[in-house]
Chain A
Amino acid sequence: DTAVSQTPKYLVTQMGNDKSIKCEQNLGHDTMYWYKQDSKKFLKIMFSYNNKELIINETVPNRFSPKSPDKAHLNLHINSLELGDSAVYFCASSLRGARTQYFGPGTRLTVL
C-alpha cells in the first residue's frame, strides 16, 4: 500500500523516560512533517524536513529532536518526557511544489 505509516500507534510511558516515534512514506515525496494534536484537537506543526534538511523548526522544547535519515523517513525522539507531552503526534508528507500534505495514522503518546 502506498501511504504514510507511523510506529508505534500507541505509546504509554512514565515521566522522565525517552521515547522515539518513526515515520515512513512510500509516496515519493521530498518533504516530511511532524504535527502535534493536543486534547482540544488543535493541530500544530513542530518540524519539517525537505530532502533530509530541517526547514521548519517551530518553538518546541529542545527535548524534541527530529531526525531524517533519508527523504522517505522522519523520526522524532523525545527526551525526559513530561505530562504535557501527552498528545497525538502525526507525521505528514508532501511534494515541495504540490503542497498537498498526506497524514500518517498518528501515534497516541500518554505520559503517566
Chain B
Amino acid sequence: GENVEQHPSTLSVQEGDSAVIKCTYSDSASNYFPWYKQELGKRPQLIIDIRSNVGEKKDQRIAVTLNKTAKHFSLHITETQPEDSAVYFCAATGTDSWGKLQFGAGTQVVVTP
C-alpha cells in the first residue's frame, strides 16, 4: 500500500518568510496529491491539490510542486502571516484506490510576528 512521509514535523518561521514542507510517497500509481490545513480544534481543509499530469500549481501565496520521478511533492508558502499557523498535511491516492487518502504525519507551522 501507499506510504507517505512528511518533513519537517515542526517548522517555525518569521512572519514574511517562506515555508516549505516536503513529502515523499511510495506508490508510483498514486496520481492525486492534496494538501490540507488544520487549525487548532478545527477540521482539515483542502488548501491546494495537484494531479500527476501537472508539475506545479500556484494559488496566491501557496504553491505545490510534484516530481513524479523522485516521488516527492512539496508545499511552498510565501510571505507567511500569523494566520498561516496550523498543522499541514500532505496526502496521496491513486485512481483505483476508491479515494483512499494516505496522509503524512503532519507539519506544525508556527509563524511568529
Contacts and interface: CB of A to CB of B under 8 A. Distances in A.
Q: Interface majority SS on A: helix, strand, loop or mixed? A: strand
Contacts, number: 50
User: How many residues of A sit at the interface, in one of the four size bands?
Assistant: 20 to 34
Interface stretch (A13-21, A76-84, A95-103): A95-103
Interface residues of B, number: 21
Contacts of A55: 98
Sorted nearest first, the 10 A-B pairs with minimum C-beta distance are A103-B43, A43-B103, A55-B98, A41-B106, A103-B44, A99-B99, A105-B43, A99-B32, A56-B100, A94-B99
Interface of A: 31, 33, 40-45, 48, 50, 55-56, 90, 94, 96, 99-106
26 contacts: A31-B98, A33-B99, A41-B38, A41-B87, A41-B105, A42-B103, A42-B106, A43-B44, A43-B89, A45-B101, A48-B98, A48-B99, A56-B98, A56-B100, A90-B43, A94-B99, A96-B98, A99-B93, A99-B99, A101-B46, A101-B99, A103-B36, A103-B44, A103-B45, A105-B43, A106-B43
Interface of B: 32, 34, 36, 38, 42-46, 49, 87, 89, 93, 98-103, 105-106
